Amino acid sequence: MVEPVGPYNPVVMDHFMHPKNMGEIEDADAIGEAVNPVCGDSMRLFIKVVDDRIVESRFLTFGCGAAIASSSITTEMIKGKTLDEVLRIRDQDVVDALGGLPAAKLHCSVLAEMALSAAVAVYRKRRGG
Ligand code: FES
């Protein structure tokens, strides 16, 4: 399916067309997985953590342009932040960082928030936290 690109602003378009940190981390400390209940699109977020801080993250997202842009900017937003700090990131923060999403695409940013909290939960569970 051809993605309609008209409604996206330049920031969204840049992250959609040139996603940052796309791919896997083979020796990730945790992988968070999420499926958007609205459309079924999915995201996997790989994180590396040192001293409770995210030092690297990458993503694989099977979804629309807004989902890919949300995933991409989320990997930039969380770099260097503590796990507690990233858990405070909400989908609206992702939308704001992108400079807004079309109303029909707002739900796409939820995928990033869900994958993020899942990754932290997996990491803490592995650590016995
Ligand atoms: S339409 Fe599924 S995440 Fe955007």
Mutate to test the pocket of ligand 1, among 2, 8, 41, 94 (most ligand atoms within 8 A of CB): 41
pTM of the model: 0.92
pLDDT at 121 over 70: yes
For residue range 66-90, list pLDDT tens digits in order.
999 999 999 999 999 999 999 999 9
Provide the β-strand partners of residue 45. Answer: 32, 59
Closest residue by Cα to residue 41 from 23, 59, 14? 59
Could you give the angle at the alpha carbon of 38 between the alpha carbons of 46 and 97, nearest 5°?
55
Which residue owns the Cα nearest ligand 1 atom 3?
108
